[in-house]
Amino acid sequence: MSKFIRISLIFKLALMSITILLLMSHIRYISADTRGYLLDNHKTSLPNIKVFDYTTNSQREHYVRFGVYQMSFLNSSLDSRSLWQIDQPEKRIFEIKKCVQEAINNNINILIFPELTLNLPEEIRNECVNYLKDISSKHEMIIVGGSFYDENRFQRSVMIGPDWIHYGYKFKPSKFEVSPLFGEGMVDGEELTVLKTKYGNYCVIICADLISDQVQYCIRYLSTRKIIDGIIVLSYNPSSLEFLIEANCIVRRHPIFLIISNICIVDNKNMDYGHTAILSHIKDGLDNLPNSSVKLLDFLPGQFIKIDSEGRKIGRELPYSNLIYDVGPQQEGMLIFEINLDLINIPYVTNAPDQGYKTIGNIEFKEYKR
């Protein structure tokens, strides 16, 4: 065999070897691809969203007046299902009626109570709900009456309008109301509620839902598609500052406002409750405007504010950049403010407040006198 033929054979064998190796490599990669699978159960982990439209034959209001209560509404013991209960329901009813009368005196359009405000024995709760329905009908007021645990261990929010009533769900329990080992406590809710009313469109959620990844995804979805104007959060929350940070992250990236109604513990050294709040978009660097970030600093405690070397207020700490008003952890009363619904869903960079119009204004706090 000539030298030329031997070289040619070697070259062909080498080429065949390379080809085989490439084919085997390709087959191996294809095999790896076939081992992958679609992770589709994440879709079923998201809550359903149910929209209730109560805007028939009613024109959307331009300005809406809110009353948001922070009260020492405590649930002090556990029932046989390991769910919190009230020891003095008659006292709670008296306090609710007193709060409602204050809201009427201040011409409130939407009145909001904290989580578990209506966690009363069923017969007493039904009487209270009927009272709230009468008030709502008489005064054209929407009342978000807090929540309660039902007979199936769901936590249900209560939303009342002039001619309607709706019971929503808390989607995720907190660590204080569930016992996975013993199968006791609250069970996961079934859906999120969106209310469309003449006073605006709102998603009403409860406490730990605010820090739930699934619920946050749904909230951002609703905001991006301009389905909601705001979020109402009912809380019974000892981690209130952490929740403010979560709320701020949502409002910072979406043209909506967010309201938190939390309980407080008066005459107690525990300062982790409270911090009922309103968060929204505000103007930076325009000190002469009524809705500028500097003008609104007067409503905030010092812990949220940046101070320069000369002791001047110069802005908010970044985690609270969209916080407009915060109620102190031991204050009882009603946070009152007005929202301009015509401006809420406009990107705040081009919003009319740079011409002097306020997105949120007439802010005040009415102390509850016992």
Determine contact, residues 328/274, Cβ cutoff 8 Å: yes
Pair 12, 50 in one domain: no
Which helix (H) or strand (E) segment holds residue 109: the answer is none
Determine contact, residues 227/51, Cβ cutoff 8 Å: yes
Instruction: Please report which confidence band the pLDDT of residue 87 belongs to, taking 50, 70 and 90 as the band edges.
Output: confident
Give the model confidence (pLDDT) of 308-321 as tens digits: 677 776 667 767 88
The total of structural domains in the chain comes to 2
Pair 19, 97 in one domain: no
Q: 97-116 burial string, b = 16+ CB within 10 Å, else e?
A: eebbebbeeeebbbbbbbbb
- Structural domain including 141 reads 42-367
Which of these ranges, 4-8, 55-59, 217-221, has the smallest mean pLDDT?
A: 4-8
Pair 66, 24 in one domain: no
Instruction: Please report which confidence band the pLDDT of residue 343 belongs to, taking 50, 70 and 90 as the band edges.
Output: confident
Pair 3, 95 in one domain: no
C-alpha 252: how far from chain center:
13
How many angstroms separate the CA atoms of 21 and 27, rounded? 10
Pair 72, 14 in one domain: no
Q: What is the CATH number of the domain that holds 329?
A: 3.60.110.10
Query: Cα–Cα distances in Å, from 123 out to 90, 135, 163?
Result: 12, 19, 22
Token digits of residue 157: 């929010």
**pLDDT cut 90: percent of the chain above it:** 52
Pair 213, 298 in one domain: yes
Pair 186, 241 in one domain: yes
Q: Name the pTM for this structure.
A: 0.83
* Residue 185 confidence (pLDDT) above 90: no
Pair 108, 247 in one domain: yes
Pair 21, 77 in one domain: no
* Residue 9 confidence (pLDDT) above 70: no
* Interacting residues of 67 by C-beta distance below 8 A, sequence separation 6+: 102, 103, 106, 108, 110, 111, 112, 334, 335, 336
pLDDT at position 288 is 45
Pair 230, 317 in one domain: yes
Pair 32, 48 in one domain: no
Residue type at position 189 = G
* Residue 296 confidence (pLDDT) above 80: no
* Residue 253 confidence (pLDDT) above 80: yes
How many angstroms separate the CA atoms of 286 and 75, rounded? 45
Token digits of residue 57: 């034959």
Pair 17, 161 in one domain: no
Give the model confidence (pLDDT) of 255-284 as tens digits: 899 999 999 987 766 668 999 999 987 655
Average pLDDT rounded to a whole number, residues 297-315: 69
How many angstroms separate the CA atoms of 142 and 47, rounded? 25
pLDDT at position 276 is 96
Determine contact, residues 251/321, Cβ cutoff 8 Å: no
Give the model confidence (pLDDT) of 97-151 as tens digits: 999 999 999 999 999 999 999 999 999 999 999 999 999 999 999 999 999 999 9
